[in-house]
């Protein structure tokens, strides 16, 4: 049939996939919806060809425009032949909806080529998509393998054991450290292993301390079952081999938990050693002053209920002579031997303490007094008077005893200790080797101390003091890093008065404040004229911390001398932190803020506590010389020093060993990791006038040691 009209295709504006619009531009099937439907307009293309039709997205064979041909007239409708053909091929149908004739062969070939090309393109596109998807999948799998490898490496290189259990208490994952810690066999490491089976393995194989029976298993599972499910918990498990494992369990969303198992054995041992040090004398392992006071305070509760309490103070006669003639090692061995004899003389309920160099105290609770204390004092004097065999030396000493009995001689620990000291002084004055009970009229010692106080006040006003300086050597650089300023008093008639004799009196009377300020200013002025790489260490008394002007005094001394604050080290004893702790810490922080370094002196003696190291960031710990002297004879001293050095390393604190007198001690301090050393090995304290000579000599000596 001849071609009548050719019509142009346009969008109707109300497109709907799969339908077309009529000539009026209205979609009859979906008047309110639209997507890609077309209307036939009355525009002739001018390039009609019989038996052919134009396609959307294709050119008319004649006019190369986007046209559609109609066989009969413009009133006959056009429809889409298939929604699956993207080009929207259209057949021409008559008004009854039937094909108007057999499609021309040219049209069929064009249609077949179009469909074949379309399918090929679709196949190629799908192939490309599959290849790309496959590449993406392989990349994701490789990334997942890499992440799993990293995760496993991280887990297996943890210093802690780690395990994870799901809400059904079945194993999800664990690392090698966890498996090795409890010697778990491969079958218990599989995912899904019940928690109960792993716990049973620990108990029955004897890995955990305790029994291996069914009852032991049940008890362990019961204890674990009582742990809180919804909050973090921590416990300490003891293993049969003596190790301690800290287990921290953290709940997970959705149930289950993740737990870390950390070996805290060394930490526990260090803490136990530190705790023991806090209450025991390092040399003799007797109770120290802290434990002595605590014991007296607790025992006084029995006194208030009607029981008796006696405090005996002992002082070894002629001990200083032994120390000076035979040396400190023999003196220390003697103190240890005396301690053993004192233990043998008392009951299990009595306490023996070492309170000073050659001073001891014994607390006797209960019994008839004063008869019980008299009997014990006689036994002590006889025991100490017997000769001591100390290797190559046989030593004979004696002891004097002072006794105070509660409640008559006091109802507080300080009063009883003081009155026992007064009675001891009377016993020594009366010829030694005897004992005396406290009497109210005992004032001889107080009178002597009063005379010493008067002389001390004269020395303050007349400038009777002098500073000596002892070098502190850095073991890393083998150089002199600092000098410690030490106070000396030259009495006009007594001669050189030992610091231990006048400093306690100065502290008790408050004279230590002006004396300490003089020493601080003198030391700063001296350091200012010395090389800039040398620091100056100055001791501060606990009494000085009661003075609210301490910080201002330090600033004034630094300013007057023109000394940089970081060249000044202030040394305090642990007893400083016992008094008004909050105020003391505030003063220490103020001093540190201006740049002054703070050191803890005589660490490990008397009142020290680990809490002080956590409450204030000390720059230095000075290990007391009593630990150093006992290195060769007491292996325990090495362990104590190692613990202190380890503690200093953990806190980032410099450790200085005092009292180093021999090459052997120096080598041991270096081997144990001490940062600095101080002692007679390098030099005794010397006056400032000897500085140049001392620096020159020590420079050569330090090089030789290095």
Q: What is the pLDDT of residue 295?
A: 92
CA distances from 687 to 30, 600, 659 (A): 112, 24, 19
Could you say which DSSP state residue 78 is in? E
Strand intervals (E) in 323-397:
351-354, 359-365, 388-390, 393-395
Q: What is the pLDDT of residue 86?
A: 36
What is the average pLDDT across 379-385? Answer: 93
First and final C-alpha spacing in the chain: 119
With the C-alpha atoms ordered 574, 650, 272, 338, is the resulting torsion angle positive or negative? negative
Kindly report, as residue ranges, where domains of CATH 3.30.70.270 are found in the chain.
Answer: 279-442
- Per-residue pLDDT at 635 exceeds 90: no
- Per-residue pLDDT at 204 exceeds 60: yes
Structural tokens at position 263:
């070996």
Residue 338 near residue 384, CB atoms below 8 Å: yes
Residue 455 near residue 474, CB atoms below 8 Å: no
pLDDT band at 106 (very low <50, low <70, confident <90, very high): low
pLDDT band at 93 (very low <50, low <70, confident <90, very high): very low
Q: What is the pLDDT of residue 26?
A: 40
Q: What is the pLDDT of residue 25?
A: 40
Q: Which overall architecture, per CATH, does domain 161-263 show?
A: 2-Layer Sandwich (3.30)
Mean pLDDT taken over the chain:
80
Phi-psi region of 36 (alpha: psi -120 to 50; beta: other; left: phi over 0): left
With the C-alpha atoms ordered 347, 351, 353, 359, is the resulting torsion angle positive or negative? negative
Phi, psi of 588 (to 5 degrees): -65, -40
Q: What is the pLDDT of residue 23?
A: 38
pLDDT band at 110 (very low <50, low <70, confident <90, very high): low
Q: What is the pLDDT of residue 193?
A: 94
Give the pairing of strands 654-658 and 620-623: parallel
Domain 279-442: which CATH number of 1.10.10.60, 3.30.2130.10, 3.30.70.270, 3.20.20.10? 3.30.70.270
Per cent of the chain over pLDDT 70 is 79
Q: What is the pLDDT of residues 264-295, one digit of tens each?
A: 988 888 888 888 888 899 899 999 999 999 99
- Per-residue pLDDT at 385 exceeds 70: yes
How far apart, in whole angstroms, are the C-alpha atoms of residue 551 and residue 247?
46
- For 4-13, 74-83, 149-158, which range has the lowest pLDDT when averaged over its residues? 74-83
What is the average pLDDT across 653-659? Answer: 93
- For 13-22, 440-449, 454-463, 581-590, which range has the lowest pLDDT when averaged over its residues? 13-22
- Per-residue pLDDT at 451 exceeds 50: yes
How far apart, in whole angstroms, are the C-alpha atoms of residue 379 and residue 391?
25
Residues written for the chain: 706
What is the average pLDDT across 115-131? Answer: 83
What is the average pLDDT across 359-381? Answer: 90
Higher pLDDT pick, 407 / 450: 407
- Per-residue pLDDT at 180 exceeds 80: yes
Q: What is the pLDDT of residue 107?
A: 58
Assign 26 to helix, strand or coil: coil
Kindly report, as residue ranges, where domains of CATH 3.20.20.450 are found in the chain.
Answer: 449-699
Q: What is the pLDDT of residues 544-602, one digit of tens each?
A: 887 889 999 999 999 999 999 999 999 998 777 766 567 788 899 999 999 999 998 87
pLDDT band at 55 (very low <50, low <70, confident <90, very high): very low
Q: What is the pLDDT of residue 168?
A: 92
DSSP string spanning 142-183?
A: HHHHHHHHHHHHHHHT-SSEEEEE-TTSBEEEE-HHHHHHTT
**Does the model's pTM come out above 0.85?**
no
pLDDT band at 111 (very low <50, low <70, confident <90, very high): low
What is the average pLDDT across 320-328? Answer: 79
Give the pairing of strands 244-251 and 90-92: unpaired
Higher pLDDT pick, 116 / 398: 398
What is the average pLDDT across 428-437? Answer: 85
Kindly report, as residue ranges, where domains of CATH 3.30.450.20 are found in the chain.
Answer: 161-263
Using alpha carbons, select from 515, 541, 526, 521 the residue that is nearest to residue 461.
515
Q: What is the pLDDT of residues 238-274, one digit of tens each?
A: 999 889 999 999 999 889 999 999 999 888 888 888 8
- Per-residue pLDDT at 13 exceeds 50: no
- Per-residue pLDDT at 112 exceeds 80: no
The radius of gyration of the chain from alpha carbons, rounded to an integer in Å, stands at 48
How far apart, in whole angstroms, are the C-alpha atoms of residue 46 and residue 40?
15
Per cent of the chain over pLDDT 90 is 40
What is the average pLDDT across 515-523? Answer: 96
Classified by CATH at the fold level, domain 449-699 comes out as: TIM Barrel (3.20.20)
pLDDT band at 57 (very low <50, low <70, confident <90, very high): very low
Q: What is the pLDDT of residue 609?
A: 54
Residue 629 near residue 329, CB atoms below 8 Å: yes
Structural tokens at position 647:
């503690």
Q: What is the pLDDT of residue 276?
A: 86
- Per-residue pLDDT at 9 exceeds 70: no
pLDDT band at 444 (very low <50, low <70, confident <90, very high): low
- Per-residue pLDDT at 305 exceeds 60: yes
Residues with Cβ within 8 Å of residue 122, at least 6 apart in sequence: none
Note if the bond before 203 is cis, omega within 30 degrees.
Answer: no
Higher pLDDT pick, 212 / 159: 212
């Amino acid at each position: 049939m001849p071609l009548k009209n050719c019509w142009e295709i346009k969008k109707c504006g109300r497109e709907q996939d799969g339908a077309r619009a009529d000539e009026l531009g209205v979609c009859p099937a979906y008047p309110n919806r639209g997507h890609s439907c077309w209307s036939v307009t009355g525009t002739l293309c001018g390039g009609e060809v019989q038996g052919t039709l134009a396609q959307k997205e294709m050119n008319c064979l004649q006019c190369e425009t986007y046209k559609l041909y109609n066989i009969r007239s413009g009133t006959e409708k056009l429809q889409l032949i298939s929604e699956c053909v993207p080009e929207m091929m259209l057949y021409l149908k008559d008004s009854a909806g039937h094909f108007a004739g057999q499609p021309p062969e040219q049209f069929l070939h064009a249609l077949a080529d179009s469909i074949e090309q379309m399918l090929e393109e679709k196949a190629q596109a799908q192939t490309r998509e599959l290849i790309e998807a496959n590449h993406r999948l392989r990349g994701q799998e490789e990334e997942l393998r890499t992440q799993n490898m990293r995760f496993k490496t991280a887990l297996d290189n943890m210093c802690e054991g780690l395990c994870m259990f799901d809400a059904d208490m079945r194993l999800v994952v664990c690392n090698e450290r966890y498996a090795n810690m409890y010697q778990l066999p491969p079958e218990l490491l599989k995912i899904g292993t019940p928690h109960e089976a792993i716990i049973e393995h620990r108990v029955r194989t004897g890995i955990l301390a305790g029994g291996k029976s069914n009852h032991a298993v049940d008890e362990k599972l019961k204890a674990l079952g009582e742990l809180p499910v919804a909050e973090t918990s921590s416990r300490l498990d003891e293993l049969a081999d003596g190790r301690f494992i800290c287990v921290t369990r953290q709940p997970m969303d959705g149930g289950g938990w993740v737990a870390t198992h950390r070996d805290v054995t060394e930490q526990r041992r260090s803490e136990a050693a530190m705790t023991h040090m806090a209450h025991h004398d390092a040399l003799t392992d007797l109770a120290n002053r802290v434990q002595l006071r605590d014991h007296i305070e607790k025992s006084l509760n029995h006194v208030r209920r009607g029981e008796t309490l006696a405090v005996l103070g002992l002082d070894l006669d002629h001990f200083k002579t032994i120390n000076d003639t035979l040396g400190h090692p023999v003196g220390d061995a003697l103190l240890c031997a005396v301690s053993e004899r004192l233990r043998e003389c008392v009951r299990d309920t009595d306490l023996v303490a070492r309170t000073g160099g050659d001073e001891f105290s014994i607390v006797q609770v209960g019994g008839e007094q004063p008869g019980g204390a008299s009997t014990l004092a006689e036994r002590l004097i006889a025991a100490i008077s017997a000769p001591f065999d100390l290797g190559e030396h046989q030593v004979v000493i004696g002891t004097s005893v002072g006794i105070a009995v509660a409640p008559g001689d006091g109802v507080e620990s300080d009063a009883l200790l003081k009155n026992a000291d007064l009675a001891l002084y009377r016993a020594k004055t009366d010829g030694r080797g005897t004992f005396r009970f406290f009497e109210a009229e005992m004032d001889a010692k107080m009178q002597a101390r009063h005379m010493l106080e008067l002389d001390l006040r004269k020395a303050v006003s007349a400038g009777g003091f002098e500073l000596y300086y002892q070098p502190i050597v850095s073991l890393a650089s083998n150089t002199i890093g600092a000098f410690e300023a030490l106070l000396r008093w030259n009495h006009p008639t007594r001669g050189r008065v030992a610091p231990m004799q006048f400093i306690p009196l100065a502290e008790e009377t408050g004279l230590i404040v002006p004396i300490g300020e003089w020493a601080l200013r003198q030391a700063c002025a001296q350091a200012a004229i010395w090389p800039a790489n040398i620091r100056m260490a100055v001791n501060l008394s606990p009494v000085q911390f009661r003075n609210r002007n301490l910080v201002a005094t330090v600033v004034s001394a630094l300013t007057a001398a023109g000394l940089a604050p970081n060249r000044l080290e202030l040394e305090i004893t642990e007893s400083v932190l016992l008094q008004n702790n909050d105020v003391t810490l505030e003063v220490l922080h103020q001093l540190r803020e201006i740049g002054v370094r703070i050191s803890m002196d005589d660490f490990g003696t008397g009142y020290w506590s680990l809490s002080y190291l956590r409450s204030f960031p000390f720059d230095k710990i000075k290990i007391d010389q009593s630990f150093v002297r006992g290195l060769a004879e007491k292996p325990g001293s090495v362990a104590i020093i190692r613990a202190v050095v380890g503690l200093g390393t953990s806190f980032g604190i410099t450790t200085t060993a005092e009292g180093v007198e021999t090459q052997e001690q120096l080598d041991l301090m270096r081997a144990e990791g001490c940062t600095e050393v101080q002692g007679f090995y390098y030099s005794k304290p010397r006056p400032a006038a000897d500085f140049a000579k001392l620096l020159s000599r020590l420079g050569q000596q330090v090089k030789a040691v290095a």
